[in-house]
């Protein structure tokens, strides 16, 4: 089964992202807007129990973090994906590192760019038409994230929460 670890932003930011995703993201109905902290990996029923224990240990070592989104960006020309860029900070980077180095699953293929996808799988023409408009509208949002979520993929391709982990306020 496929799994991943994400942080869900507040409903306010999800609503802003979904305003774009409804039109520009074919995965709109499959997953809520999120910031991935550990990409997709596979595990069986026994392994996922060990993974959940390990994620709980990581979550207990990390405090809630600030999620600051202040610009729209793109991965073009590599992919025609448009996203809200999350300003990297020590807390986000440390959490990502702990969930990806010497942890279950594969080492990430790409360097970590914290973001919330708002458009993907666009043709080059579609991408070029909308990127300027979305950048002009912009985004400016800050909030505190106090939990991360282990998700799993259902047979229909949608993702749902397997377990939620609170980040430790005491750290």
pLDDT digit string (tens) for 1-48? 999 999 999 999 999 999 999 999 999 999 999 999 999 999 999 999
Q: Specify whether the CB–CB gap between 41 and 4 falls below 8 A.
A: yes
What are the residue ranges spanned by the domains of the chain? 2-166
pLDDT at 146: 97
Q: Specify whether the CB–CB gap between 158 and 56 falls below 8 A.
A: no
Lowest-pLDDT range, 64-68, 71-75, 103-107?
A: 103-107
Mean pLDDT, the chain, rounded, equals 94
Known catalytic residue at 127: no
pLDDT at 108: 72
CA 87 from centroid of its chain's CA atoms: 13
pLDDT level of residue 101 (50, 70, 90 thresholds): confident
Over 60: is that where the pLDDT of 171 sits?
no
Active-site residue (options: 34, 62, 127, 149) = 34
Range 78-117 burial, b when 16+ CB lie within 10 A, else e: eebbbbbbbeeeebbeebbebbbeebbbeeeeeebebbbb
The tens digit of pLDDT for each residue in 116-151 reads 999 999 999 999 999 999 999 999 999 999 999 999
Under CATH, what is the fold of the domain 2-166? Cyclic Phosphodiesterase; Chain: A, (3.90.1140)
The tens digit of pLDDT for each residue in 85-100 reads 999 999 999 999 999 9
Q: Specify whether the CB–CB gap between 44 and 85 falls below 8 A.
A: no
Known catalytic residue at 34: yes
Active-site residue (options: 62, 115, 127, 149) = 115
């Amino acid at each position: 089964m496929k799994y991943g670890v994400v942080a869900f932003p507040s409903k306010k930011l999800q609503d802003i992202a979904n305003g774009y995703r409804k039109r520009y993201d074919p995965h709109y109905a499959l997953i809520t807007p999120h910031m991935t902290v550990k990409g997709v990996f596979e595990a069986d029923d026994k392994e996922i129990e060990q993974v959940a224990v390990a994620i709980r240990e990581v979550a207990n070592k990390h405090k809630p973090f600030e999620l600051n989104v202040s610009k729209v960006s793109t991965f073009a020309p590599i992919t025609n994906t448009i996203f809200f860029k999350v300003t990297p900070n020590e807390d986000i980077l440390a959490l990502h590192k702990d969930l990806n180095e010497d942890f279950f699953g594969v080492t990430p293929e790409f360097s970590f760019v914290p973001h919330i996808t708002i458009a993907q799988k666009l043709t080059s023409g579609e991408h070029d038409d909308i990127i300027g408009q979305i950048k002009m509208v912009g985004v400016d949002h800050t909030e505190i994230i106090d939990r991360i979520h282990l998700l799993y993929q259902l047979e229909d391709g949608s993702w749902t929460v397997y377990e939620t982990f609170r980040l430790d306020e005491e750290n």
